[in-house]
Structure formats: structure tokens, C-alpha cells
Amino acid sequence: MGMFSQLAQGVDWSSMGQMILRIAAVLLCLVIHEVSHGLAAYHLGDPTAKQSHRLSLNPLRHLDPFGLIMMIAVGFGWAKPVPVDPRYFKKPKQGMAITALAGPASNFVLAYVSTIIYSMLFAVAQVKGESTGLSLALTFFSLLISLNIGLGIFNLIPFPPLDGSKVLAMFLPDRWYGRWMQLERYGMIVLMAALWFGLLDGFLMAARNLVLNAMLNGANFAYLGMLSLLTR
């Protein structure tokens, strides 16, 4: 028992707890993002994602190992692309754009809902004091806010294979569309290099801060409402 006791005392449980919360938040962000792609395609008539079991909430069906590591390490990353067959869409280019937008849109919705919950919990902490459980909840929702905003913004970059490229492709002439989509096989290499050398850091951080401030302002009603309720 003495050896195990010493081992337990040597573990930084606080850091481990933070990492567990971060991984849980990352998995939720990525799964919601990918399932939203699949659901959008399915409602537009494409059953490919459903047939490939990509409408599942099981994280193992969606994870890309390197993309997961990037999400955990820097807050920007990706999952395995959901298979989509545009031949099922009545308007293929528009269908691809809507399917692509569904992922980032789901992240922004989840980020805003998390911001509202965080604001209410923050008001509780100010009035009642911060317990261990409340502290963990605040940490988890702050991670959800930051990671969802980061994932949404990163995927809206109009460069293949990110979602923003498919939105941009909707406005391209048909003769350019095929060539643009072919860039997907090389685009991720370029993006990984850009992230590795920090070429996108300035833009991504500025965009994330802009969206974060907008969401905090938009959720201020929840903070004030909870504060008013608790101080009556």
C-alpha cells in the first residue's frame, strides 16, 4: 500500500482532471460537428453517411488521430470527413455547401448554448461561492466555448478540404468546380504546414476573440437574470 500511496501522491491530479475535461470537450465538439454534416446530407437526400454509420454519436467512428491531437494541443483540428455523394442532391453544389456549413454552424450553436450556461454558473459562483463541482463545470463549459468557436472558425477557412472551401465552390463556374475540389488531396498537407509554422495563428486568435466577445455579450442576459434571481 505504501508504494501505491506514494505513487498517488506524486500524480498531479489537478492537471489530469483538466486533461480529462479537455478530451471530453474535444470529443463532444468533433462528434457534433461530423454528425451535423451527416444529418444535413441525409435530409437533402444522401444516405451515404447513414449507411457508413457516421450518424452515430460514438466518437470512434469519427476521429482522425492527428486532428484529435491538434484539437487537444492547440484548439484547432478536424475529424474524419463524413462521406457525401453529391449525386443524391437535386442541386449538387448547393447541397455540398449546405452540408459543409452544417458542421461549423453546429459548433457555433453549441458554443453559444455553452456560453449561456457558463454565464449562469458564473453568477452562481459569484453569489454562492465556488465549490469543486461548480469549478469543474465552469472549466468544462469554458473549454466547450473556446474549442467550438475554434473548430467552427478553422473549418470556415475557404481552403480545401475545409468546409469553407465547399461554400466558396458553390459560387465557382462549373468549369472550375472540379479542379477546385481536386485540391482536397493536397490541401490538408498545406494546412498542417501552416499550423505547424504558426502562419494562421494571428488570424485564428483574432477571429476567435471576436466571436467569443460577441457570444459573451449575447449571453449577458443569462448572467444578469441569474444574478437577479439569486440576490432577491
The answer to whether the beta carbons of residues 92 and 101 sit under 8 Å apart is: no
Each residue's pLDDT tens digit, 14-64 = 677 888 899 999 999 999 999 999 999 999 999 999 999 999 999 989 988
Write out 11-38 in H/E/C secondary structure.
Answer: CCHHHHHHHHHHHHHHHHHHHHHHHHHH
Residue 106: pLDDT band by 50, 70, 90 thresholds? very high
pLDDT for 13:
44
Each residue's pLDDT tens digit, 176-212 = 877 777 777 778 788 878 877 888 889 989 999 999 9
Each residue's pLDDT tens digit, 144-178 = 999 999 999 999 999 888 999 999 988 888 778 77
Can you state the angle between helices 132-155 and 13-43, rounded to 10 degrees? 40
Q: Residues with catalytic annotation?
A: 34
Cα separation, 81 vs 86, whole angstroms: 14
Q: How many CB atoms lie within 10 A of CB 68?
A: 19
Cα separation, 149 vs 154, whole angstroms: 8
Distance in angstroms between the alpha carbons of the first and the last residue of the chain: 51
Each residue's pLDDT tens digit, 108-129 = 999 999 999 999 999 999 999 8
